[in-house]
Every structure is written in C-alpha cells, then in structure tokens.
Amino acid sequence: MSDDPYGVDVVACKSRQQRLLAEMVEHGLEWVVLTRRESVQWLTGAYVGPLFAPAAAMNTEGRVTLVLPSRKTSLTVAADEVLPYEEKWCSTLRDEQRAASNTVMMSALPIKLRHVGGEWSQLGPDLLADCEGNVINIEPTIFRLRRQKDNDELRMLRRANDANRAMYKLAREIVEPGVNELDVYNELHAVAVQKLGEALTYFGQDFRSNARGGLPRDRKIEAGELYILDLGVGFRGYYSDNARTLAVGGEPSAKQVLAWERVSEVFPLVESTVRPGASCKQLFEEVQSLLDKSKPWVFNHHLGHGVGLAPHEGPHLNPSWDDTFAEGEFFTAEPGLYHEELRAGVRLEENYVVTATGCEKLTDYPLGL
C-alpha cells in the first residue's frame, strides 16, 4: 500500500475488472481490448496523461495485460502483466505511438482471436485485423459501467472538489468591480494547484461575468453583474464540476435575488426525488416545469450529468436520454435561470452520490450570491 492516500487502489480496480468480466460472459466475449486512456485507467488505475497510447486487455479468466509507455511501467497498477512500448526514442515522442502500443498488445494476444470487444473510437485497423469472429464495440458497456463509482473513485472526486472548495472561497474574497476575468482565472488556478499540491490534469469551464459561460476574457467585471463561476479541475484524470454565482459588488438587484431563490429551490426537489430507480428524465422535466414559472427568465440546458474520468458521463439528467439513477452514481445538478435583465443569469451546481435509499450532497460550500 502506498503512503499516498490517492494512490491507485488495486483492490478497487480488480472489482471493476470483475464487473467487466460479468459483461464479457453475457456478451460471449473471449477478450476485451481497451485503447481509450480513460478506459485503461478505469480498469487498471494507470494514469498516463494525454501524450501516450496505453492499452489493456482482459480474457475470460480475468487475466489483465497492460501495455504502457516504457518509462511508466513502474506505476502501481492492477494488472497481471505489464508490457512496455517505446513511446520515445532518445527523449523524442514518436508519431506512431498508437501503432507501437498495438503491436506490443497483439504480441500478447492469441494468434487466433474470436469474439472480441474493442473500443471503436480508438481502435485502429491494425489491432484486431486478424480476428476471425465478431469484433463488437464495447464502448457503450464501458461507459455504462463507469457510471457506478467505487470508493477509490469517490475519494478522487472528493479530492478534486477540495480544489473547488478553495477556489470558491478565494473567489468570494477577490471578485469585485474592476477585476479582470483573466486575473480571476489565474488566481483560481493557482489556489487549486496549491490546494492539491501538484499540477492539475485539467482546468476549465466558465469564467465570464455577465455571460452564460465560456473561458475568461481580457475584460474588467462590473458592479451589478452576476458572475457564474462553473469550475472544474482534473486530479490525476478525475474531473470536478460544480458552480456558484457571485453578485459583483455585493449588492444584487431584487430580480437577481429572486432568480437565485428560484434556482435554489430546485435542490430540495432533487434531494427528495433521487434514489435508485428514479427516472433522470422525469426529474429533468419536473425541474423544467418549476423553472418555467419564472419566464421570461429561461432554463434551457441539461439539469446535470455524471462526472468521473470524463467531464460528462452518465447518468444524464437530460430529456435526450432516458436514464435511471443507481446506487454509487456521482452526479451534478446544475439548474440555472438566464436573462439579459439578470446580467446575465444564475447557475448553481451541486454534486451528489446516489445512496441505497436516496442521495448524499457532497458540495458543502456556501451557495449564496
């Protein structure tokens, strides 16, 4: 066991491998070969960053082969075999890393392959070319399995939120008329790095005042505007995503306060509705109806989504999907109301985890304007 409380949890990875194994049996698959970085990390714990091309394979005995950049093979991972591929030659990144990784993986797979699951968005024509049976796209299965977070993943997501907590606290100190959006962005980035004690693997979302969202502009914020800070970091591949709205100058208008109250009223509805088996789409529709009472202010985006190794995952609190909540899911709820007269709107975003009987809120930081 590593001293690092956020080190890779091999036992938790193996429980994910067992869940994938059950799916393989159900689909009649003899092998699954994963080539998307998030999938490889999900299955084995190996985080390698965006410049590399790892791969992982598992057979029906649950044996896992992992192909990693040669300089990363000492990472703590959940795999029975770790094989290196040459990601660099004499320090220079190779253009053909994916092919090199695939070649190593092919050498570890049986010559005659039948009934394999692969990831179609990152497969390549070389990897399973000799497969004599079916190659099915396993991506939808992986995405479905990723919805349910294990304890190690919740630990990473909570840790990423430590950065968010520090960012909102600082924002309440520094946001005032005349401050430049770029400087707010930089100071929030800095406090997130200080809080986590390491460089982030992602930094983004919404940093514009008097706007619905977007990256920061070279622009001074003004008294009377609402400043939606929808903040996200990456902590070793895991994302955070929640939002607060601040009244620039500290004296929100009566309409701005009313909009904030209307948006805030969504959370009790979320908290009383969500439990395993509840419909995400129906929750979205109830919230849409509730917020539609505030016209001409509009709510015209999703209510929320899962977060994990991608910024958006299932479950989808969204009319375009028909998802059902299940225990262990980590999701955001981010109701908002927007209108020019609000300069330009309120969005509040909380994070929850679905429990056996309901949901638990994870974002305990102040919600006020």
What residues make contact with a copy of itself under the rule CB under 8 A? 50-51, 53, 89-93, 95-99, 118, 120-126, 135, 139-140, 143, 182-183, 185-187, 189-190, 193-194, 197-199, 204, 207, 215-218, 301-302, 305, 310-313, 316, 318-321
Least Å distance, CB 350 to a copy of itself, is 17
Least Å distance, CB 62 to a copy of itself, is 25
Q: How many CB atoms lie within 10 A of CB 156?
A: 23
Amino acid at 177: P
Say if residue 84 is preceded by a cis peptide, omega within 30 of 0. no
**Toward a copy of itself, which CB reaches closer, 48 or 78?**
48
Please, which residues bridge with residue 347 across strands? 336
Give SS3 for 157. helix
**Toward a copy of itself, which CB reaches closer, 67 or 247?**
67
Characterize the bridge pairing of strands 81-85 and 64-69.
parallel
Least Å distance, CB 170 to a copy of itself, is 12
**Toward a copy of itself, which CB reaches closer, 90 or 356?**
90
Say if residue 110 is preceded by a cis peptide, omega within 30 of 0. no
**Toward a copy of itself, which CB reaches closer, 35 or 247?**
35
Give SS3 for 329. strand
Least Å distance, CB 257 to a copy of itself, is 25
**CB neighbours of 105 closer than 8 A, spacing ≥ 6?**
33, 55, 57, 65, 67, 83, 127
Least Å distance, CB 51 to a copy of itself, is 7
Q: Which long-range contacts (CB under 8 A, 24 or more apart) does 139-144 make?
A: 139/36, 141/20, 141/23, 141/27, 141/117, 142/20, 142/34, 142/36, 142/39, 142/42, 143/313, 143/314, 144/314
Least Å distance, CB 340 to a copy of itself, is 20
**Toward a copy of itself, which CB reaches closer, 126 or 251?**
126
Phi, psi of 26 (to 5 degrees): -65, -40
Characterize the bridge pairing of strands 135-137 and 116-118.
parallel
Contact 58, 21 (CB under 8 A): yes
First and final CA of the chain: distance in angstroms?
43
**Toward a copy of itself, which CB reaches closer, 118 or 252?**
118
The number of residues in the chain equals 369
Least Å distance, CB 87 to a copy of itself, is 11
CA distance 2 to 168: 31
Least Å distance, CB 152 to a copy of itself, is 22
**Toward a copy of itself, which CB reaches closer, 153 or 230?**
230
**Toward a copy of itself, which CB reaches closer, 1 or 89?**
89
**Toward a copy of itself, which CB reaches closer, 188 or 247?**
188
**Toward a copy of itself, which CB reaches closer, 99 or 367?**
99
Least Å distance, CB 96 to a copy of itself, is 7
Assigned token pair, 227: 């400043």
Least Å distance, CB 147 to a copy of itself, is 11
C-alpha to C-alpha distances, 100 to 48, 72, 89, 93, 127, nearest whole angstrom? 16, 15, 12, 12, 10
